[in-house]
Each structure stands twice: as C-alpha cells, then as structure tokens.
C-alpha cells in the first residue's frame, strides 16, 4: 500500500470516528423516531377531517348573495378562494386572500369579527364530541406551542385552547371561528417519540424558521458525509478474499473485535441505506434550487380563466345550486369557483363525493376531459401537449397511500424544455400536482429514498413494512453500536486527560520543594 493511500485511509478513519462521536446520538434518534413515524403522524386538522365533522348546509338559511357578502365586508381585489360552510350552526361565506380569511354570515350578511368565548367552546366541544361542561379553557394562545409552531397558524391567532379529561385538546381560531388544531393523548405521545425528534421540531428552534431549516440541512448534510466516509473505510478495511486479521478466537475479514466489529459489519450491510435516508432527509428541505418541484408554465390561472368576482354568481343563487344536488349529496361545503372563465359551484360532502354545478346547467360529477385538454393546450402555447390521458388509479408520479390526492385526474405532459407534467383534478379543475425536470428528480431522491416510495412496494403492505422495518432496524443497530463505541472513546479520552492533569500536578510538587532552601517549611 502506498504512503498516500495509507495517509488517506488514516484520515478517513479519523474523520468518520469523530464525526460519529458527534452525531451518533442524533442518528440513533432519527432512526428510532423514523420507525415510530411509520405508524403515527404529527397531529393536524385536514380538509377531509373538517368535512367529516361538519353538518350539512341548509339551503333555506342562505339568504345573502355572494355580491352582498363581498360588499358588507368591504373587500377589494380578487380572493384566492371563496367557500360557504357552517360556523356554530350558521352558514358563512369565507373569502380567502392567501393565508388571510374574511368571514360574513350568509343568513344576515353580518361580518364575523371576533368569536365569543361561549361560541368557541361550543365549536370545540362539537368537534371533539365531548361535553362542554367538562372542558377546561387553557387561554388565548398568541404565541407558538408545540402543536401550533408551524408558521401557517400565525394569521389565525389568537387561538382559544380547550382540553378535556380524556386528553383531547382543541384550538379554535378567533379570526375564522374554525378548529385549526386537534390533538389527543395518543397523537401527542406518538409525535413526542416520532415527528418531533425526527424533524427536530422543538418549539424554541422550530418557531425560528430560517434557523431551524439551516440546522436540519447542515446536520443531515454533515451526517451524509459521515456515512460516506464510513462506507469507504469499511470497504477499504474489509478483506473478503482472505481472512488476514488474526484474533485469539480465529482469523477475520474485519480488523476489529467486539462493538467495532459489529459496527463495521452492519455498516457494510446497511450503510448505503443510512446514507440515502440522511441525504434524502436533507433534500426534504429543498436546499438546491435545481430540485424545485413544480412545472415551469403556470397553467392554474388558465384553468380558472378569470379572476374571482362576485358579480357572475348573481345569475344563480347559492341556495338554488344546493337545491339541484339535494337528492345526490348532503353538501357540507359549497365553493364558488371559476373554470375556463365560467362561474361554477363546487358542492362537496366528502373528498370523493362532490358535484360541479355550472350556473344554469346540470350538475356533473367530473369535468369533461376533452374540455380540460383544450384549455391546457391553449394555455401551453407555443408548446404543445405531448401526452394527455385520464388517470383513475395512482401511478409512479401520482401516489398517495392515504388517498388524500383526488381521483380521477387528467395527466398532461408538455413538449417544453422541462418536459412539464400536470395532474388536473377533474372534480375541481385545479392542478393537484405538477412536475418540472427538477421536481421529478426530487420525487425519486426524496420521496423514493426517504419513504421507500418505489413502484409496487409503496402500495403493498405488509411488504413495504417488512422491507422498511428491516432496513430501519439495521440502521438503528449501526447507531447503537456507534453510541457504545463513541461513549467508550470519549470516556477513555477524558480519563487520559484527567490522568495527565493529575500527573502534571503531582510532578510539579517535587520541583517546587527542590527549589526551596533546606530547612524551609511549606
């Protein structure tokens, strides 16, 4: 072996060793919490959960037109979304401007300004199904806590927090009157052992968004480098052809015994997966611009075809639209939208139970795929549609094991330089997912590697569980052996340092005594 190779190997071992001492505990936490996250998610309120807990709209109580509600709120500009649902049993219009919401009652047109405490308690109690008499008010939360640390909660504050003896907690926004977070004792416990340590979601750190992002990127990036050094060193030291390393109990292909031997063996088997999981974890934070997710041409505006205005909806009152679908759905939310420049109502009972109600037209379950294709083709010019087809089952670039992504969708691919891909929800006319060239890389490098979201495997359980659990347990074993090795090395180093300090202190005594004149006392 050349001198250069010997030096490279020596320093590779040193780098991996001390990076391991620094990061072994964090890696162990990541692997163990990753196993927990296979079965317990971070608690959140989803659109599907909100619909499931909502009562149906009563068309007879919607007396105010969209134009009247818009005027009573003295709004200007085009909202990004407008919907009608219930607030404490009364129908309301909700005008969304990005993250901000403006609410007016649909029965009398009065603006909703601030939620009374009694109403908030009723809303929280109805959501949890627990008696309001058993609830405890925990205060108006103006700052982040562990369950509302995400920045999306900021425009919804103050949040009125209520808890019940069974461990349920509900947060009601004073701005919108909706339950925006709900946790149970079990969901919090799962998050404490899963998502919170895995995402480094500790409140003081997470509320500083930029700092948190940098901590995750740098810790996972350095960890990926550490695993690469470990793999290289393991391959370098391994001697598969002949057992050249001699130990009292026999020859070995690995130059270590005890925990180091186990660590090397496990690293050779599972080290590559530890590297891909760490690297893909870093990619979840989108550290590289070239891995941007969305397609380049923004066709969402073209699918709408017009900026939202209340005037066109005067042609058909919301209660008349509800009457058209009364025999088909128990509508819980009515959205006022545009498709290809035409106003439509989107009546929804559940995520997969909805109807499109064109003004003056017949309700339909889905948009005409041919019409959607025409709109996309016009908007994509000068590029052409290279491919367009209806997708009724999840596929490699459009998959959701929890069935949160809508079906059916129209898949469209352009012949632009990015080879842009779109999945358009045929129930709403909105883009459900899109990819540019970087987005497709990110789909495999992040989702594919981090969640083992691979063709066939991801959709078939328990095959996915068996594969992922095996790999995760292997990674956990690597980390446990690393913690043991790291602790022993640190303990030895500290003991040596203490011994040197003691020796130095002891050896300095005689020197001082010998320098004193004879007969002198200390």
Band the pLDDT of 257: cuts 50, 70, 90: confident
Q: Distance between CA 44 and CA 180 in Å, rounded?
A: 8
Residues 6+ apart with CB under 8 A from 385: 373, 376, 377, 412, 413, 414, 415
Examine residue 369 and state whether it is found in any structural domain, yes or no: no
Q: Is residue 509 assigned to a domain?
A: yes
What is the distance, to the nearest Å, from the Cα of residue 123 to the centroid of all Cα atoms in its chain? 27
Query: pLDDT per residue over 108-141, tens digit each?
Result: 999 998 899 899 999 999 999 999 999 999 999 9
List, as own/partner pairs, every contact residues 485-488 make where C-beta atoms lie below 8 angstroms and the sequence separation is at least 24, other chains included. 485/20, 485/24, 485/259, 485/260, 485/263, 486/20, 486/21, 486/24, 486/25, 488/259
Query: In this predicted structure, what is the pLDDT of residue 208?
Result: 94
Q: State the CB neighbour count (10 A cutoff) for residue 199.
A: 18
The mean per-residue pLDDT over the stretch 355-361 comes to: 95
- Dump pLDDT digits (tens) for 424-474: 999 999 999 999 989 999 999 999 999 999 888 888 889 999 999 999 999
The answer to whether residue 209 is domain-embedded is no
Pairwise CA distance, residues 391 & 372, whole Å = 13
**Is residue 414 domain-resident?**
no
Range of the domain at 274: 1-41+216-293+462-514
- Written as six digits, the tokens of 264 are 């090397």
Q: Kindly write down the DSSP assignment for every residue of 157-205, as one continuous string.
A: -SEEEEE-TTS-EEEEETTT-SEEEEE-HHHHHHHHHTHHHHTT--HHH
Burial category of 264 from C-beta neighbours within 10 Å (exposed 0-12, middle 13-18, buried 19 and up): buried
Q: Where are the beta strands (DSSP E) in 407-478?
A: 409-414, 421-425, 431-435
Q: What count of Cα atoms within 13 Å lies in the side-chain half-sphere of residue 202?
A: 7
| Distance separating alpha carbons of residues 205 and 290, to the nearest angstrom | 27
Average pLDDT of span 145-151: 96
DSSP state letter for 156: G
Report how many domains make up the chain: 1
What pLDDT digit, counting tens, does each position of 333-345 carry?
A: 999 999 999 999 9
Q: Are 211 and 196 in contact (CB under 8 A)?
A: no
The alpha-helical segments, DSSP class H, found in 258-299 are 258-283
Among 11-20, 32-41, 249-258, the least confident range = 249-258
pLDDT tops 90 at residue 507: no
Cα–Cα distance measured from residue 70 to residue 95, given in angstroms and rounded to the nearest whole number: 8
- According to the model, what pLDDT value does residue 519 have? 40
Two tokens, residue 279: 């690297």
Six-digit token string for 453: 């979201």
Establish if 299 belongs to a structural domain: no
Rounded-to-5 percentages of helix, strand, coil across the chain: 45, 20, 35
Supply angle C-alpha 188, 190, 196, rounded to 5. 80
Residue 105 CB neighbours (<10 A): 20
Q: Tell me the C-alpha distance between 430 and 298, whole Å.
A: 12
The arithmetic mean of pLDDT across residues 411-434, rounded, is: 95
Integer-rounded Cα radius of gyration of the chain: 31
CA distance 87 to 93: 10
Check if the beta carbon of residue 168 is closer than 8 Å to that of residue 182: yes
Give the Å distances, CA to CA, from 52 to 30, 102, 120, 170, 404. 34, 23, 19, 16, 14
How far is Cα 75 from Cα 97, in angstroms, rounded to an integer?
10
């Amino acid at each position: 072996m050349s001198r250069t190779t010997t030096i490279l190997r020596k320093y590779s071992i040193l780098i991996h060793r001390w990076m391991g001492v620094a990061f072994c505990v964090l890696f162990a936490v990541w692997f163990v919490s990753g196993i927990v996250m296979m079965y317990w998610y971070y608690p959140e309120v989803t659109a599907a959960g909100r619909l499931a807990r909502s009562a149906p709209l009563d068309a007879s109580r919607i007396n105010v037109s969209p134009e009247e509600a818009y005027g009573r709120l003295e709004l200007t500009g085009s909202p990004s979304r407008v919907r009608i649902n219930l607030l404490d049993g009364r129908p309301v219009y909700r005008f969304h401007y990005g993250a901000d919401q403006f609410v007016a009652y649909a029965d009398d047109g009065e603006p909703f300004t601030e939620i009374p405490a009694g109403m908030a308690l009723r809303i929280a109690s109805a959501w949890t199904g627990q008696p309001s008499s058993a609830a405890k008010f925990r205060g108006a939360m103006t700052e982040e806590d562990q369950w509302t640390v995400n920045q999306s909660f900021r425009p919804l504050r103050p949040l009125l927090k209520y808890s019940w003896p069974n461990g349920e907690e509900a947060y009601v926004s004073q701005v919108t009157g909706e339950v925006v977070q709900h946790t149970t004792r079990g969901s919090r416990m799962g998050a404490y052992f899963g998502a919170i340590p895995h995402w480094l979601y500790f409140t003081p750190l997470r509320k500083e968004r930029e700092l948190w992002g940098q901590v995750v990127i740098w810790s996972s990036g350095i960890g990926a480098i550490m695993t690469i050094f470990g793999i290289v060193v393991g391959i370098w030291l391994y001697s598969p052809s002949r057992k050249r390393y001699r130990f009292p109990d026999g020859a070995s292909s690995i130059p270590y015994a005890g925990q180091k031997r186990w660590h090397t063996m496990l690293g050779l088997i599972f080290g590559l997966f530890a590297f891909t999981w760490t690297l893909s974890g870093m990619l979840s934070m989108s550290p590289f611009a070239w891995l941007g997710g969305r397609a380049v041409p923004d066709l969402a505006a073209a699918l709408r075809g017009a900026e939202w205005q209340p005037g066109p909806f005067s042609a058909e009152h919301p209660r008349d639209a509800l009457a058209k679908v009364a025999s088909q759905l128990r509508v819980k939310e009515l959205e006022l939208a545009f498709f290809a420049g035409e106003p439509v109502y989107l009546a929804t009972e559940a995520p997969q139970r909805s109807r499109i109600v064109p003004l003056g037209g017949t309700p339909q379950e889905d948009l005409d795929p041919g019409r959607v294709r025409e709109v996309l083709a016009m908007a994509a010019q000068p590029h052409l549609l290279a491919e367009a087809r209806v997708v009724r089952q999840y596929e490699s670039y459009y998959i959701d094991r929890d069935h949160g992504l809508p079906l059916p969708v129209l898949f469209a691919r352009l012949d632009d330089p990015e080879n842009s891909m779109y999945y358009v929800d045929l129930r709403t006319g909105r883009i459900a997912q899109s990819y540019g060239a970087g987005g497709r890389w990110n789909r495999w490098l992040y989702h594919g590697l981090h969640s083992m979201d691979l063709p066939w495997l991801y959709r078939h359980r328990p095959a996915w569980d068996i594969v992922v659990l095996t790999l995760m347990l292997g990674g956990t074993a690597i980390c446990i052996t690393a913690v043991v090795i790291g602790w022993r090395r640190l303990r030895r180093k500290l003991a040596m340092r203490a011994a040197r300090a003691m020796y130095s202190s002891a050896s300095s005594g005689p020197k001082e005594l010998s320098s004193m004149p004879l007969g002198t006392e200390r």
